[in-house]
């Protein structure tokens, strides 16, 4: 036994005499950190790196089977899902790993922001981190394109439409994004090159720089209220802390990093196992237009912004806001490189995180069940409950038919079924009088199309008489006066003829 | 016998531990020249690389477009709007299914047509035609257009993009080949072409 131990020690020495890495690696692993930072709050960065590793490994494994062309990608994904032993699980790991990576990177960034760790002398570590976030999002978007299905195809169109809004060079940007005038083989291939070569290459290099800076500058200490960061004194204070109660990174803090990474990898495995691979949805055939394209989870909030922003503000919002936000994130440590680190003394920072988190959550959850999109098959698919038809006149029932046939249901819900683009109509008769209903149907307005040219007068009469029954058994429409005026004017018109 | 290679592999720092200034500056000069040469070669190399990368970008506008058939006239009855299909004129077999593209063809009265891009003017999502209500609806952000392509509701900043068309024998041809966006719309519908209807 000791013979084997002796042999392996000799082998180790043989390599280290030539590599010389044992000393720097040991020094890096055991570098002292403030005792306060050996905390569960400091585990997100290493978890992000661990997921990145998982993405590289699963990505390479998928590339063994995946066929990276616009023509064959979709088929090879289906082969991976159904024809290849455990191909579905590898796809699921890679897909869920992507969502987890985006989430963990954002959590890591939020923690660093709340703890003020971006302040002197770690400004550049933060700035590199901002680029790492952008590259991670870049991986998520390009990865979504490589899942070359209907959503990916139309997602590329949305990307091109955004590029097309850039003044002066919009056309050039569209062509350079698509690798030509139209979405096709070259478009796909350049997203493949970005996802597999360009972005991962930059990511690996920047992760190395990021980690190097963490080692070189030391792990940020746990913030204390009232303890200000000053450029002139910080380094001495930090060194003194380390002298006083520094602990080696391995094992004092590292066991938490490792434990958390394991938990995250297990969570990804569980999601992959129970929820399975993400897509692919329908084939990337643009002539199949029965689709409602939606972006992946990390971009749902942007999709919501497109729908909710006032149209006039949209282009400036789209083109200027990203630049402003990125510049603000990059400039943050240069602007606020000194001063308080503790969150209890930085109310604006806390408020910002709260507002951004709440806004992104609301926008994302809206994007999951978008109320602004018409439900394209509600007119032919959604049930008209008996209560809307029972005891109604033939004219009113005819109106219910017109209501369905003219796709009103695509935007207006009845009994909770149908589109939510326009108001629910269960109680419309309590809000609008007969004449107001007629006007609204014929002329539209308030973001509703005018149906004047699509409906014949008998159809309008039937539709409005149906809508007038929708009062939820409450006080029938507040329109007695209107009706009176209408019948009076009809009466007088009859007299004058 | 003198080894001719001996001088070549001499380490000047060992042979000349004082590292005399004259020699030092010559080496520095040579290094600078080498770096400069390297830069020059790099710049020359960058020309074809950039040309390759930007080739598709700086092609003359409209040179992507060609006359392509969308179908026989019988496929588009008068007074109706039907889905037309055309092949990307610059496509390759590697495009697979993306090579065939859809568009909406409205036959107004057998002599006048409107050929709309499938792409919503808001975010390029595919619009659907509903013949009953005579509306195009977009599934993404709720853009709605009338049958002539004019905006009826929702966020689109303009009406549907239109293609130039011509009737050649029994075939309807359109001038297409470029994804329409707000920046690339001009090559789809040129002012003064037959498309200025709605």
Report the residue from A182, A406, A449 with minimal CB separation from B132: A406
The sign one gets for the Cα dihedral A239, A39, A58, A77 is negative
Residues B166 and B107 in one domain: yes
Q: Is A126 exposed, middle or buried (0-12, 13-18, 19+ CB in 10 A)?
A: buried
Is residue A148 one of the residues assigned to a domain?
yes
Domain count, chain B: 2
Final residue in a domain of this structure, among A368, A388, A423: A368
Residue A497 pLDDT? 45
Residues A388 and A359 in one domain: no
Measured distance CA(A225)–CA(A236) in Å, rounded? 19
Number of Cβ pairs < 8 A linking chain A and chain B: 205
Report the residue from A170, A182, A447 with minimal CB separation from B179: A182
Cross-chain Cβ contact A373/B140 below 8 Å: yes
Residues B77 and B48 in one domain: no
Do B167 and B105 form a contact (C-beta atoms < 8 A)?
A: no
Residues B157 and B137 in one domain: yes
Name the CA radius of gyration of chain B, rounded: 31
Is residue B196 one of the residues assigned to a domain?
no
Residues B76 and B49 in one domain: no
The per-residue DSSP string of B68-83 comes to: EEEEEGGGS-TT-EEE
User: Tell me: the pLDDT tens digits for B155-197?
Assistant: 999 999 999 999 999 999 999 988 999 988 744 444 334 433 3
Map residue B32 onto helix, strand or coil: helix
Domain count, chain A: 2
Domain containing residue A150: CATH number: 1.20.810.10
Residues B34 and B79 in one domain: no
Residue A493 pLDDT? 54
Distance from CA of A373 to the nearest CA of B (A): 5
> What are the φ and ψ backbone dihedral angles of A246, each rounded to 5 degrees?
-70, 150
Cross-chain Cβ contact B183/A411 below 8 Å: no
Is residue B86 one of the residues assigned to a domain?
yes
Please give the DSSP secondary-structure letter assigned to residue B180: -
Residues B87 and B44 in one domain: no
pLDDT at residue B198 greater than cutoff 50? no
Q: Is the preceding peptide bond at A121 cis, omega within 30 degrees of 0? A: yes
Residues A341 and A392 in one domain: no
Do A334 and A184 form a contact (C-beta atoms < 8 A)?
A: no
Residues A396 and A346 in one domain: no
Cross-chain Cβ contact B182/A170 below 8 Å: yes
Cross-chain Cβ contact B141/A307 below 8 Å: yes
Is residue A289 one of the residues assigned to a domain?
yes
Measured distance CA(A294)–CA(A298) in Å, rounded? 11
Three-state SS letters, chain A: CHHHHHHHHHHHHHHHHHHCCHHHHHHHHCCEEEHHHCCHHHCHHHHHHHHHHHHHHHHHHHHCCCCCCCCCHHHHHHHHHHHCCCHHHHHHHHHHHHHHHHHHHHHHHHHHHHCCCCCCCCHHHHHHHHHHHHHHHHHHHHHHHHCCCHHHHHHHHHHHHHHCCCCCCHHHHHHHHHCCCCCCHHHHHHHHHHHHHHHHHHHHHHHHHHHHHHHHHCCCCCCCCCCCECCCCHHHHHHHHHHHHEEEHHHHHHHHHHHHHHHHHHHHHHHHHHHCCCCCCCCCCCCCCCCCCCCCHHHHHHHHHHHHCCHHHHHHHHHHHHHHHHHHHHHHHHHCCCECCCHHHCHHHHHHHHHHHHHHHHHHHHHHCCCCCCCCCHHHHCCCCHHHCCCCCHHHHHHHHHHHHCCHHHCCCECCECCCCCCCCCCHHHHCCHHHHHHHHHHCCCCCCCCCCCCCHHHHHHHHHHHCCCCCCCCCCCCHHHHHHHHHHHHHHHHHC
Final residue in a domain of this structure, among A368, A401, A419: A368
Do B88 and B95 form a contact (C-beta atoms < 8 A)?
A: yes
Map residue B52 onto helix, strand or coil: helix
Cross-chain Cβ contact A182/B153 below 8 Å: no
Final residue in a domain of this structure, among A368, A396, A427: A368
Cross-chain Cβ contact A283/B101 below 8 Å: no
Residues A179 and A280 in one domain: yes
Domain coverage including residue B50: 12-54
Measured distance CA(B101)–CA(B95) in Å, rounded? 11
Do B84 and B120 form a contact (C-beta atoms < 8 A)?
A: no
Q: Are strands A246-248 and B66-72 parallel, antiparallel or unpaired?
A: unpaired
Residue A484 pLDDT? 59
Cross-chain Cβ contact A184/B99 below 8 Å: yes
Neighbour count for residue A159 (Cβ, 10 Å): 23
Map residue B65 onto helix, strand or coil: coil
Residue B7 pLDDT? 60
Residues A341 and A403 in one domain: no
Is residue A19 one of the residues assigned to a domain?
no
Instruction: Return the higher-pLDDT residue of B147 and B2.
Output: B147
Report the residue from B98, B139, B177 with minimal CB separation from A374: B139
Residue A307 pLDDT? 83
Residue B187 pLDDT? 46
Is residue A320 one of the residues assigned to a domain?
yes
Report the residue from A181, A314, A373 with minimal CB separation from B179: A181
The widest CA-to-CA distance across chain A, in whole angstroms, is 121
State which H helix or E strand residue B162 sits in.
strand B162-168
Map residue B42 onto helix, strand or coil: helix
Cross-chain Cβ contact A287/B54 below 8 Å: no
Measured in whole angstroms, how far is the alpha carbon of residue A471 from the centre of its chain? 40
Residues A325 and A351 in one domain: yes
Is residue B6 one of the residues assigned to a domain?
no
User: Tell me: the pLDDT tens digits for A141-168?
Assistant: 999 999 999 999 999 999 999 999 999 8
Do A306 and B155 form a contact (C-beta atoms < 8 A)?
A: yes
Do A298 and A137 form a contact (C-beta atoms < 8 A)?
A: yes
Residues A111 and A196 in one domain: yes
Domain containing residue A486: CATH number: 1.10.760.10
Is residue B152 one of the residues assigned to a domain?
yes
Helix A185-193 with A170-178: angle, nearest 10 deg: 80
pLDDT at residue B65 greater than cutoff 90? no
Residue A479 pLDDT? 53
Do B70 and B87 form a contact (C-beta atoms < 8 A)?
A: no
Could you tell me the pLDDT band of residue B55, with boundaries at 50, 70 and 90?
confident
Residues B74 and B139 in one domain: yes
Domain coverage including residue A411: 378-491
> What are the φ and ψ backbone dihedral angles of A402, each rounded to 5 degrees?
-60, -40
Residue B10 pLDDT? 59
User: Tell me: the pLDDT tens digits for B121-133?
Assistant: 999 999 999 999 9
Map residue B132 onto helix, strand or coil: coil
Is residue B154 one of the residues assigned to a domain?
yes
Burial of A29-44, coded b for 16+ CB within 10 Å and e otherwise, reads eebbbbbbbbeeebbb
Residues B88 and B35 in one domain: no
Q: Testing the interface with B: which of A286, A376, A441, A460 to mutate, by most B Cβ within 10 A?
A: A286
Residues A388 and A361 in one domain: no
Residues B28 and B77 in one domain: no
Residues A271 and A312 in one domain: yes
Report the residue from B56, B132, B153 with minimal CB separation from A444: B153
Judge if ipTM > 0.90. Answer: no
Residues A329 and A451 in one domain: no
Measured distance CA(A327)–CA(A315) in Å, rounded? 19
Cross-chain Cβ contact A289/B95 below 8 Å: no
Residues B22 and B112 in one domain: no
Is residue A441 one of the residues assigned to a domain?
yes
Report the residue from A175, A311, A451 with minimal CB separation from B57: A175
Measured distance CA(B102)–CA(B69) in Å, rounded? 12
Is residue B172 one of the residues assigned to a domain?
yes
Cross-chain Cβ contact A407/B96 below 8 Å: no
Residues B36 and B77 in one domain: no
Is residue A160 one of the residues assigned to a domain?
yes
Do you know the residue count of chain B? 198
Residues B135 and B74 in one domain: yes
Residues A286 and A386 in one domain: no
Q: Testing the interface with B: which of A289, A295, A421 to mutate, by most B Cβ within 10 A?
A: A289
Give every residue of chain A whose pLDDT is below 70, as ranges: 1, 473-497
Cross-chain Cβ contact A376/B97 below 8 Å: no
CB < 8 Å from A in window 91-150 of B: 91-102, 118-119, 122-128, 130, 132-135, 137-142, 144, 146
Domain containing residue B160: CATH number: 2.102.10.10
């Amino acid at each position: 036994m000791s013979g084997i131990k002796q042999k392996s020690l000799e082998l180790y020495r043989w390599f280290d005499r030539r590599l010389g890495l044992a000393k720097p690696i040991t020094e890096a692993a055991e570098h002292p950190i403030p005792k306060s930072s050996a905390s569960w709050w400091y585990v997100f960065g290493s978890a992000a790196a661990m997921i990145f590793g998982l993405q590289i490994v699963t990505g390479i494994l998928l590339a063994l089977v995946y066929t990276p062309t616009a023509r064959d990608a979709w088929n090879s994904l289906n082969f991976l899902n159904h024809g290849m032993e455990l191909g579905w699980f590898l796809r699921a790991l890679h897909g869920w790993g992507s969502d987890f990576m985006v989430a963990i990177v954002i959590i890591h960034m939020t923690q660093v922001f709340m703890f003020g760790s971006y302040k002197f002398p770690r400004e550049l570590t933060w700035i590199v981190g901002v680029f790492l976030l952008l590259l991670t999002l870049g991986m998520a978007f390009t990865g979504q394109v490589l899942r070359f299905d209907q959503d990916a195809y139309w997602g590329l169109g949305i990307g091109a439409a955004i590029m097309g809004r850039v003044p002066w060079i919009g056309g050039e940007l569209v062509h350079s994004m698509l690798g030509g005038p139209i979405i096709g083989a070259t478009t796909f291939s350049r997203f493949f090159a970005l996802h597999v070569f360009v972005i991962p290459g930059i990511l690996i290099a920047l992760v190395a720089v990021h980690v190097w800076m963490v080692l070189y500058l030391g792990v940020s200490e746990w913030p204390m209220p009232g303890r200000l960061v000053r450029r002139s004194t910080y380094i001495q204070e930090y060194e003194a802390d380390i002298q006083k109660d520094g602990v080696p990174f391995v094992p004092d803090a590292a066991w938490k990093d490792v434990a958390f990474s394991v938990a995250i990898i297990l969570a990804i495995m569980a999601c992959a196992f129970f929820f399975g691979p993400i897509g692919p949805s329908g084939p990337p055939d643009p002539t199949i237009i029965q689709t409602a394209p939606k972006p992946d989870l990390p971009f749902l909030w942007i999709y919501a912004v497109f729908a909710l922003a006032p149209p006039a503000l949209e282009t400036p919002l789209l083109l200027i806001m990203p630049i402003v936000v990125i510049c603000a994130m990059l400039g943050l440590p240069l602007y606020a490189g000194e001063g308080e680190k503790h969150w209890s003394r930085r109310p604006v920072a806390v408020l910002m995180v709260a507002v951004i988190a709440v806004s992104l959550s609301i926008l994302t959850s809206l994007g999951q069940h978008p109320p602004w999109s018409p439900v394209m098959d509600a007119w032919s698919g959604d049930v008209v409950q008996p209560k809307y038809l029972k005891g109604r006149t033939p004219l009113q029932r005819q109106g219910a038919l017109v209501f369905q046939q003219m796709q009103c249901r695509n935007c207006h819900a009845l009994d909770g079924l149908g589109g939510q683009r326009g108001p629910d109509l269960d109680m419309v008769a309590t809000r609008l009088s007969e004449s107001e209903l007629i006007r609204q149907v014929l002329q539209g307005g308030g973001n509703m199309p005018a149906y004047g040219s699509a409906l014949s007068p008998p159809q309008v009469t039937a539709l409005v008489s149906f809508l007038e029954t929708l009062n939820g058994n409450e006080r029938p429409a507040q329109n007695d006066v209107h009706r009176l005026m209408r019948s009076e004017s009809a009466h007088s018109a009859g007299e004058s003829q | 016998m003198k080894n001719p290679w001996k001088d070549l592999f001499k380490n000047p720092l060992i042979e000349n531990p004082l590292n005399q200034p004259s020699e030092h500056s010559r080496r520095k000069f040579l290094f600078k020249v080498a770096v400069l040469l390297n830069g020059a070669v790099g710049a020359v190399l960058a020309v074809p690389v950039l040309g390759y990368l930007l080739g598709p970008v700086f092609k003359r506008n409209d040179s992507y477009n060609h006359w392509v058939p969308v179908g026989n006239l019988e496929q588009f009855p008068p007074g109706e709007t039907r889905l037309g299909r055309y092949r990307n004129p610059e496509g390759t077999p590697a495009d697979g299914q993306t090579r065939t593209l859809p568009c909406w063809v409205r036959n107004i009265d057998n002599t006048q047509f409107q050929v709309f891009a499938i792409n919503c003017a808001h975010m390029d999502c595919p619009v659907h035609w509903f013949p009953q209500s005579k509306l195009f609806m977009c599934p993404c952000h709720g853009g709605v257009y009338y049958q002539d392509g004019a905006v009826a509701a929702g966020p689109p900043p303009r009406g549907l993009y239109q293609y130039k068309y011509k009737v050649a024998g029994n075939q309807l041809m359109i001038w297409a080949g470029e994804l329409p966006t707000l920046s690339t719309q001009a090559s789809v519908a040129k002012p003064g072409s037959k498309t200025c209807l709605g």
